[in-house]
Amino acid sequence: MEPLSIIVRTICDIFAWFLAVFGAYVIIHGHLSPGGGFQGGAVVATFMALLLVSHGGKKLLSFVKPGLYSWAETTGLLLFIGTGFAGLTTAFFYNFLAGEGGLFGAVVPLGANSGILNSSGTIAVMNMAVGLEVIGGLSLIILYMFKGIRLYDDTGREETGHDR
Amino acid sequence: MKKSVLFLIALLVVVGTLWGALDGIHPFGEVDKAPMDDYYIENAQRERNVNNLVTSVVFDYRGFDTLGEAAVLFTAVCSVLAVFRKGGYD
Amino acid sequence: MNGLAHTAVLAAIVVAGFFAVWFRDLLSSVVSLGVFSLLLSLEFYILKAPDVAIAEAGIGAGLTTAIYIIALRGCNVLRKGGGGGRK
């Protein structure tokens, strides 16, 4: 698959990194600002889609490891379910970290949004877990849908091999 | 000829049903109030120490729904990988 | 002022949806669908649902457009050189 023109490639090279950083911001600040794990993960997964559309698969698939994304997805799902089971002494999905001090345990004052990042207990952990899972899942869908289609070059011959 | 008559009857039925349903909707911009909303707004910040109420509902009060959503995404990824894998029966 | 912006965004959504159906060139149609999704996320933001707006902008305008373009490439509709489509 041939890459797109140099204008598209340059713009996608620059803006993909901003999108990744913005998605990480949306995930980490999920309990303070609008957004959360699913939204931020979708924004970060756009990184892979932009690079794949602009550069083509020949350049990108040579150094992208799908095992990393598979690891991210399974780790995110296991962390999410594990955090749900960790509060099982009281109830399933009980927020056992909130307001206890320590990790994500700060007490927020009532009223307007005070912007304390170290608050909200297991909600922040679950945000990061779901974000990790969505990053892995949507990137895997894009990558495997691209690897699964058949591509033909100009002479009508099918492009084969791993690094097409 | 007969087809168009049937189509007109079906169109009238659908439009009449939708019109009757639209009549019962509350006006735009004025939401229905439920006691659960007031409970979330009053108590979420004190109980769970969180500033974003939407996230507190999604991940804490209704965390089981989010578990189902994560399972749906995992199933979708598994099915895509099963369809587009290498080799197979071809 | 808010009502004016609301009406303008709704009219632009209708125009973008019309062009998504009207174009014969498939790449232009897909780009018009991406514009549709972006305007829809703006509409969600005007209606004070920023969570849904972020999700719509990420999935509707980003991932779905990319999947459509990959599918067009798989159907050999696009030619090399990053140009326009082929009828």
Determine the structural domain holding residue A31 and report its residue range.
6-148
Between B31 and A55, name the one with better pLDDT.
A55
Is residue A117 in some structural domain?
yes
pLDDT at C83: 45
B→A contacts (Cβ < 8 Å), by residue, are 45-52, 54-56, 58-60, 63-64, 66-67, 69-71, 73-74, 76-77, 80-81, 83-85
Q: Cα distance from B31 to chain A (closest Cα, Å)?
A: 20
- CB distance C82 to A4 below 8 Å: yes
With an 8 Å Cβ cutoff, is C11 touching chain A?
A: no
Average pLDDT over residues A109-117: 81
Is residue A153 in some structural domain?
no
Segment A38-86, tens digit of pLDDT: 999 999 999 988 888 888 777 787 888 888 999 999 999 999 999 988 8
Give the residue extent of every domain in chain B: 2-83
pLDDT at A150: 66
pLDDT at A133: 93
Inform me whether the pLDDT recorded for B26 exceeds 70. yes
Q: Cα distance from A123 to chain B (closest Cα, Å)?
A: 6
C85 strand-pairing partners: C78
Average pLDDT over residues C20-30: 91
pLDDT at B14: 95
Q: Cα distance from B88 to chain A (closest Cα, Å)?
A: 12
Report CB contact under 8 Å: C55, A150.
no
* Phi, psi torsion values for A119, nearest 5 degrees: -125, -175
CB contacts < 8 A (A, C)? 72
- CB distance A130 to A37 below 8 Å: yes
Between A20 and A96, name the one with better pLDDT.
A20
pLDDT at B43: 86
The residue ranges of DSSP E strands in chain A, in sequence order, are none
pLDDT at B63: 86
C68-84 in b/e form (b: 16+ CB < 10 A) is bbbebbbeeebeeebee
**What does the angle CA A136 – CA A142 – CA A144 come to, to the nearest 5 degrees?**
95
Q: Chains touching chain A at 3 or more Cβ pairs under 8 angstroms?
A: B, C
With an 8 Å Cβ cutoff, is A55 touching chain B?
A: no
Between A1 and C38, name the one with better pLDDT.
C38
Give the residue extent of every domain in chain C: 2-74
Nearest-angstrom CA–CA distance, B47 and A138: 34
- CB distance A129 to A80 below 8 Å: yes
Segment B47-85, tens digit of pLDDT: 888 888 888 888 888 888 999 999 999 999 999 888 887
The percent of residues in chain A predicted with pLDDT above 90, rounded, is 30
Nearest-angstrom CA–CA distance, A55 and A49: 10
**Domains: count for chain A:** 1
pLDDT band at A162 (very low <50, low <70, confident <90, very high): very low
pLDDT at B49: 84
pLDDT at C1: 67
Nearest beta carbon to residue C73 from set A36, A151, A154: A151
- Report the chain C residue with the minimal C-alpha distance to residue A19: C58
pLDDT band at A17 (very low <50, low <70, confident <90, very high): very high
pLDDT at C79: 53
Coil/strand/helix, residue C64: helix
Q: Among C86, C69, C76, C82, which Cα is nearest to C31's? A: C69
Is residue A114 in some structural domain?
yes
pLDDT at A55: 83
Cβ contacts of A130 within 8 Å, gap of 6 or more: A36, A37, A38, A41, A76, A80, B59, B66, B70
Kindly list the residues from chain C whose CB atom is less than 8 angstroms away from the CB atom of residue A43. Answer: 54, 57-58, 62
Is residue A154 in some structural domain?
no
Among A110-114, B61-65, C22-26, the range scoring the smallest mean pLDDT is A110-114
Is residue A156 in some structural domain?
no
pLDDT band at A1 (very low <50, low <70, confident <90, very high): low
- Determine the straight-line distance between the first and last CA of chain B, rounded to whole angstroms: 47
Segment C32-85, tens digit of pLDDT: 999 999 999 999 999 889 999 999 998 988 899 988 988 887 776 665 444 444
Inform me whether the pLDDT recorded for C87 exceeds 60. no
pLDDT band at B9 (very low <50, low <70, confident <90, very high): very high
Nearest beta carbon to residue B64 from set A33, A93, A107: A93
